[in-house]
Structure 1
C-alpha cells in the first residue's frame, strides 16, 4: 500500500492489506456543478437561485405550473429533483414518494503535509470511514443515522472520523481546524433512485439517490432525458419507476 501511495506508510501495521480498484475514482462535486452551470448558461439555460418552490398546479393528468415565492412558473415538462425535499412537493401533485433522510457526516481539512496525505481515495471497511483528496484539502466521511430532518450536529458525532483519520494520516492535515458538516441523504427503502414519470403525463422524477447522488448524476440525467424525449433508455427503467407508499391510518 505504501508503494502505491506513500501516505499509507504512517499507518504502520494498522492494515493487513487492501483491495486496489484501478477503475475507481473520486472528484469534487462542487467544482463539477459550478462548471456545468457555466456551460449550461452558455446554452441558454436560466438558473433562478433563491426561488422556493411551494407546490404544483395540476389540471387532470397534467401539471400546468409551479407556485413559487416569486410567482407562477410554467413549462411544457417538469422534473422534480429536490433531494430529501422531493416528497413534500410531490404531495401537492397527489404523488407520495417513499423517501426518508439518512443523516450523514463529513469533515474537510486543509493539507499541511502533502506527502502524508493520501492521493488515492479509499474506504476503511472496519470503521466505514471514506476519504478523498481534493487538491489541498482532504474530505473524510463516515456512516449515517436516522435522525429525522434534524441537521444539527455536535463534535462527538465526528469521533469515529477523527479517530480513524488521525490513526491513518496523523500529520497529513490540520485536524484542529477541520470543517464539519452534516447532510440529509434521500434514501428509498429498496435502494434504487426514483426515475421517470408519475401520475401526471408531464411531471418526471429524478430523486432518491441516497449518498450516491453525484455518482449517479450523469447516468440518471441521460436516462431521464431519453424518457422525456420518448427514446428508449440504455437501461431498463423498471427498477427505478415511481413508487408510492401507503400511510397507516
Structure 2
C-alpha cells in the first residue's frame, strides 16, 4: 500500500519509519527544504514521559492569570490575534480543568508517552542514531517552600501512574546537577524523574530520515500542501504546489496546520498553535552547565544539556499563527539560564527561535481513523511532540496496517470530540 504522509517534522518522519518497516511504500511531503525545520527544529530537547500531563488541570485558569502578571510571564495572550477559533479552543480547554477530566486525560497521555519511551529504547538498539542523547532524567527545581508543598499533588499523580521519582532537598539537587552548587541559595529543593531523556530533536529527525531513505521512503520537499480532494467518500488526491499527488492512504501529520487543512473536508480537530520560544547557547564552561534537564517551576522554562550546547525553552504565547520572533519574549528564557547557570553558556552567541506547538484542549494528541476510510491523523501533540513521536507513529502505523495496537486505543482518535 502506498501511504502519503503530509508533514516532515518528527511526527511525520517517525511515522514514515514505522510504515516503511511494515512494508508500505511511503512518500513524505513537506514545504520546507529539509525535514524538521519548523516546530521540531529547536524545541526544549526533552523526552519526558514523567511530565506528560495536560495543561488543562484543576486550578489552572487562576494560575494562568497569576502567570500573566509576573514580570517574566510564562504565559502571554496577544489580544490582537484573538479570534473566534481562539476563544472556542480556550473554552474547550477550560472545560477540561476539573479533576475527572484531568485524570482521564493524564492517563491517556501517560499510556502513550511511556509506550513511546519504550519505542525509543528499541530504536536505539536497532539504529545507531546520534542526537546528543542523554538518559539522566529531568530535575524540576523549586525556588520556594510553597512550590515544594504544591508538588505533593503532582507526586500523587506520579504514584498513581507508576512513574519513578525522587524528592530532593537542596543538597540532593546539587548532587545530581553540580552546577547548581554555584547558585544553591536560589533553590530549596526539587523533584527528579530519572526515567526522562534528553537530546536534539532536529538531529534525531534528520538522522532517522536518512534511515527512512535507506528503506525506500521518498521525501518530496519544497512542496506545499494546499488541499485534500474527496471522491466517493474517500480522499482521492492531495493538491500541492507541485500538482496533485495520489496514494492508497493519507496521513496528516502537519501539527498546527492540520486544523485549517482538515476543515476543508469537514474534519474538525481542535488543534491550536501555542507559540513557544527557545535559545541555543554554545557551552563555554562545562562545570557551570547542566548535566541533563532542569525545569524551573517558577518560570516554566526548561534548560537542557546537549553535547556542546545548552537549549533553553519555554513561554506559552496565545497568538494564533503569528510566528514573529518577539525580542521581548527572549527575556523569559534568557533570564533562567543566566540565573541558574551563570557562565555556563555564551548568551551573546545564542540562537533565538520560535515555533508553534499544536495543542489539543485536553492534552492528548489525535491519532488514527477519521470519517474517511483512507485518511488518518497523527497530530496535536502540544509540547510533547518528540516525547510521544515514536509511540504515536507506531500506534498509527499499526492502525493503517490493520494490525492490533500495542496499547489501548481508547480516547486516542478524533471521535472523542463528537
What range is the shorter-chain TM-score in? over 0.9
Q: Give the conservation status (yes or no) of the 8 Å contact 2:228–2:264.
A: yes
Equivalent of residue 237 in structure 2, options 47, 65, 70: 65
Q: Does 1:172 align with 2:344?
A: yes
Aligned-pair distance for 1:160?
A: 2.1
The SS at the match of 2:281 is strand
2:390 to 218, 222, 234: 218
Aligned match of 2:371 in 186, 191, 199? Answer: 199
Q: CA deviation at 1:245?
A: 6.9
Find the counterpart in structure 1 of residue 359 from structure 2.
Answer: 187
**3-state SS, counterpart of residue 36 of structure 1:** helix
1:239 aligns with 2:411: yes
Q: Which residue of 2 aligns with 1:84?
A: 256
Give the Cα–Cα distance (whole angstroms) in 1 for the partners of residues 417 and 354 of structure 2.
27
Deviations 1:150-189 (A, max 9, x none): 1113222121222221111110011122111111111111
Query: In the alignment, is residue 97 of structure 1 matched against residue 265 of structure 2?
Result: no
Q: Which residue of 2 aligns with 1:160?
A: 332
TM-score by length of 1: 0.94
Q: In the aligned structure 2, how far is the partner of 1:242 from the partner of 1:4?
A: 41
Deviation above 4 Å: which 4+ runs of structure 1? Answer: 243-246
- The alpha carbon displacement at 1:114 in A equals 1.1
Cα distance in 2 between the residues matched to 1:26 and 1:124: 16
Q: Is the 8 A contact 1:98 1:244 kept in 2?
A: no
> Partners of 1:91 and 1:60 in 2: how far apart?
18
Compute the displacement of 1:118 (Å): 0.6
| Higher normalized contact order (CA 8 Å, seq sep 6+, divided by chain length) | 2
CA contact (8 A) 2:227 2:239 kept: yes
Query: Is the Cα contact below 8 Å between 1:209 and 1:216 reproduced in 2?
Result: yes
Q: 1:2 aligns with which of 165, 170, 174?
A: 174
Q: Contact (CA 8 Å) 1:130, 1:140: kept in 2 or not?
A: yes
- Displacement after TM superposition at 1:109 (Å): 0.8
Unaligned runs of 5+ in 1: none
Question: Does the C-alpha gap of structure 1 residues 237 and 96 become closer, same or farther in structure 2, counting only changes over 3 Å?
Answer: same
Please report how far the alpha carbon of residue 94 of structure 1 lies from its aligned counterpart in structure 2 after TM superposition.
Answer: 2.4
Distance 2:257 2:196 in 1: 30
Q: 2:294 aligns with which of 122, 129, 151?
A: 122
Q: Larger % of helix: which?
A: 2
Q: Please, what TM-score do these two structures have when normalized by structure 2? A: 0.57
SS at match of 1:173: coil
CA RMSD of aligned residues (A): 1.5
Alignment of 1:46-65 (within 5 A): 46-65=218-237
How many residue pairs match? The answer is 246
Which secondary structure state, in structure 2, belongs to the residue aligned with residue 239 of structure 1? coil
Partner of 2:182, secondary structure, is helix
